Chains A and B, each alone.
Chain A
Amino acid sequence: MPKPQIPGVLKGLGVTMRTAKETMFPDGMLRPPSPSKGAATVQYPHEADTPADRARGVISLKEENCTSCMLCARECPDWCIYIEAHKTLAPPRREGGKPRQVNALDRFDIDFSLCMYCGICVEVCPFEALFWSPEYEYSEIRIQDLLHDKSRLAQWFETVPDFEALESGSEVKVKKVPR
């Protein structure tokens, strides 16, 4: 006579009961139940998961490095970067030299209601003026407030993490965030 098998539905019930037990008693049955430890979720907003360092949360601007080359505004698939600049004279590098013509930023806005967080702007910037930060808690009540201007973008700079070390075997040099 073939060995009697436990019906699959009962085994399935066992799986769910086991998961319930693991959630309620993550430290074993002898300790008091602590479901908030056993659950796979975090109770936002009381606690928050920290995202990875490279997570694309918000873009930050380092104004000193920006030369208004407009590459980011051109490459953005959504055209959500608005740049206005004017030419101005900067003091010469050496004594007795000619004053240099530089671009001074009037306006550098990123409209995060349009931004698709692709990262093309950060990637194409030749002067290391844009950086990713994993900050994500900037929801607004009005959609106009999602247009971050120069000063707000500069404020995000504090949250930009350093570039992390790379896996062994990599030949890429780890860049430094210019603080």
Chain B
Amino acid sequence: MTQQLLVGLQMAYWQETLLKLLLGVAAILLLTGGVVYLYLFKFVSFMQSRLGPMEAGPYGSLQLLAEVGKWLQKEDIFTEDADRFVFGLAPAVVLASTFLMFVVIPAGPDAVISDLGTGIYYVLAMSSISVLGILMAGWASANKYALLGGLRAAGQLIAYELPLVLAVLGVVIQAGSLNLQDIVAAQSGGSIFGWTGIGSPYILTQFIAFGIFLIAVQAELTQTPFDMPIAESELVAGYQVEYTGIRFLVYFISEFATAVGFAAVASTLFLGGWALPGSWGLSDATMTVVGPLVIATKAVLLVGVVFWTRFSLPRFREDQLQRLAWKFLIPIALANIVVTGILKVVF
């Protein structure tokens, strides 16, 4: 991307990386903010017959800035019994896991911060680091409610890692590579029974995996119906209950940024990512500009589905949650892998 945008300007590796990082962080925050406004403030309000924030900025568009400002000026409280180091570190761990996830997600032919060969494997590994952060928050808060929330989260997040991974395996088998750019290329260059009109988005063949992936993503984000760790009416924010000010804001941001990240991953794996079908014949230069828009749209749509479910359904109890994961999702995902493998060899 740098080679094309800044023609003739050779940058050192560190300069290139810095630029990519800054652009990446800006893109993530912008997308997160947009998603928060669109869904958390507006869409949920419309679902509830009300208008949501309307005062801050035109139609409430600057509400998030106002909220950030509000959170920034709050007092930073440590409870007396809390373990200060771990308590302070926990939000950073969760945030790190979120931002690290975005490193491999491609937004264009060259617009990826680091095109690792182990693409999707890396994403899943990074997203599991957040479990550590949540456990740290739960224990370090010296609060029984936080502890309950943290332990529930640990159980839940670990349980739903497996359906997440297994759902992805079907796509990997079909694409033949862990690398996300390869998966995107396979989808845009593929064909459905010889017709290349829309490429071959894996949602058509891997619809079961798509469903499992979305359910597992809902659980990984601890969103209703899987929000036992933050069960608002029982634990009053669970493991986040002792956090104030910017530390709480970090959890908030990381939750929505992770939602955007997982949605971007899902759109890369199942919906074709940044690419439009190869038969549309758009050049690489065009795709550098159009690609980020395409993946942003797809990700925002999927986040919409996540939020739609979040605000409509009641929550599971943890044992029901676990039962769903272990006895229902994992066997189906395994079956999907077997069938995909067989079909891949046969066809």
Contact among B43, B50, B309 for A13, CB-based, below 8 A: B309
Partner of A35, one of B51, B308, B312, B313: B51
Residues of chain B contacted by A177 (CB below 8 angstroms):
none
A45 to B313, CA, bound (A): 33
Count of A-B residue pairs with CB < 8 Å:
45
Query: How far apart are the CA atoms of A35 and B53 in the complex, in Å?
Result: 12
Known: A39-B51, A43-B51, A43-B54. A13 touches B312 (CB 8 A): yes
A41 at the interface (CB under 8 A from B): yes
- What is the distance, in angstroms, from B60's C-beta to the closest C-beta of chain A? 11
When the two chains form the complex, which single residue of A17, A23, A39, A41 contacts B308, counting CB atoms closer than 8 Å? A17
CA distance A132 to B231 in the complex (A): 45
Give every chain A residue within 8 A of B50 (Cβ-Cβ).
23, 39-41
Q: Judge whether B252 is part of the interface by a CB distance below 8 angstroms.
A: no
Residues on the A chain within 8 Å of B51, using CB? 35-36, 39, 41, 43
Answer yes or no: A83 CB below 8 A from chain B CBs. no
Report the bound CA distance from A24 to B47 in whole Å: 9
Are A9 and B313 within 8 A (Cβ)?
yes
Residues of chain B from 314 to 347 with CB closer than 8 A to chain A in the complex: none
Q: Is the interface of B mostly helix, strand, loop or mixed?
A: helix
Q: Is B118 part of the contact surface with A, judged by Cβ < 8 Å?
A: no
Give the residues in chain B near A89, CB-CB below 8 Å.
Answer: none
Residue of B46, B54, B312 with most chain A CB atoms under a 10 A cut-off: B46
Among the listed A19, A36, A41, which residue makes an inter-chain contact with B47, where contact means beta carbons less than 8 Å apart?
Answer: A19
Taken residue by residue from 112 to 145, chain A's Cβ proximity to chain B (1 for < 8 Å, 0 otherwise) reads as 0000000000000000000000000000000000
Distance from A37 Cβ to chain B, minimum over Cβ atoms (Å) = 10
Report the nearest B residue to A9, measured CB to CB. B313
A5 close to chain B: CB less than 8 A: no
Cross-chain contact B308 with A13 (CB below 8 angstroms): yes
> Which residue of A has the minimal Cβ distance to B311?
A16
Question: How many interface residues does A have (CB within 8 Å)?
Answer: 18
B48 at the interface (CB under 8 A from A): yes
B233 at the interface (CB under 8 A from A): no
Structural contact, A23 and B49, CB atoms closer than 8 A: yes
Most B CB contacts (10 A, CB to CB) among A15, A38, A39 go to A39
Q: Are A20 and B43 in contact (CB under 8 A)?
A: yes
Q: Known: A12-B312, A12-B313. Contact between A17 and B49, CB under 8 A? A: no
How many residues belonging to B are interface residues under a CB distance threshold of 8 Å? 14
For residue A36, give the distance in angstroms from its CB to the closest CB of chain B: 6
Contacts of B313 in A (CB 8 A): 9, 12-13
B window 52-79: CB within 8 A of A: 54
Residues of B within 8 A of A13 (CB): 308-309, 312-313
Interfacial chain A residues near B47, Cβ < 8 Å: 16-17, 19-20, 23
Residue of A nearest to B48 (CB): A19
Q: By the criterion CB–CB under 8 Å, are A41 and B49 in contact?
A: yes
Q: Within residues 32 to 91 of chain A, which ones have a CB less than 8 A from any CB in chain B?
A: 35-36, 38-41, 43
Chain A residues with CB below 8 A from B312, complex form: 12-13, 15-16
Query: Are A16 and B308 closer than 8 Å at their CB atoms?
Result: yes
Do residues A35 and B46 form an inter-chain contact, with CB atoms below 8 A? yes
The answer for the CA separation of A15 and B45 in the assembled complex, in Å, is 14
Shortest distance between the CB of A29 and any CB in chain B (Å) = 14
> How far is it, in angstroms, between the C-alpha of A55 and the C-alpha of B54 when the chains are bound?
28
Q: Please, how many angstroms separate the alpha-carbon atoms of A11 and B105 in the complex?
A: 34
Chain B: minimal CB distance from A113 (Å): 28
Query: For the complex, what is the distance from the CA of A40 to the CA of B51, rounded to whole Å?
Result: 9
Q: How far is the CB of B249 from chain A (nearest CB, A)?
A: 28
Checking B46, B54, B309 against A24 with a beta-carbon cut-off of 8 angstroms, the contacting residue is: B46
A11 to chain B, nearest CB (A): 10
Task: Render B281-317 as a binary contact track against A, CB cut-off 8 A, 1 for contact.
Answer: 0000000000000000000000000001101110000
Q: Are B46 and A23 in contact (CB under 8 A)?
A: yes
Chain B hits for A35, CB < 8 A: 46, 51
- How distant is B46 from chain A, measured CB to nearest CB, in Å? 4
Per the bound structure, the CA–CA distance linking A15 and B308 in Å amounts to 11
Q: Which residues of B contact A41 (CB under 8 A)?
A: 49-51
B308 to chain A: which residues have CB within 8 Å? 13, 16-17
Residues of chain A touching chain B, judged by Cβ–Cβ distance below 8 Å, are 9, 12-13, 15-17, 19-20, 22-24, 35-36, 38-41, 43
**Additional 14 contacts, C-beta under 8 A, given A12-B312, A39-B49, A39-B51:** A12-B313, A15-B312, A16-B47, A16-B311, A19-B49, A20-B47, A23-B45, A23-B49, A23-B50, A35-B46, A35-B51, A39-B45, A41-B49, A41-B51
A-B contact pairs, 10 of them (CB 8 A): A13-B312, A16-B47, A17-B308, A19-B48, A20-B47, A23-B47, A23-B50, A39-B46, A40-B49, A43-B54
Q: Which 10 A-B pairs have the closest CB atoms?
A: A40-B49, A23-B46, A20-B46, A16-B312, A20-B47, A16-B47, A41-B50, A39-B51, A13-B312, A39-B50
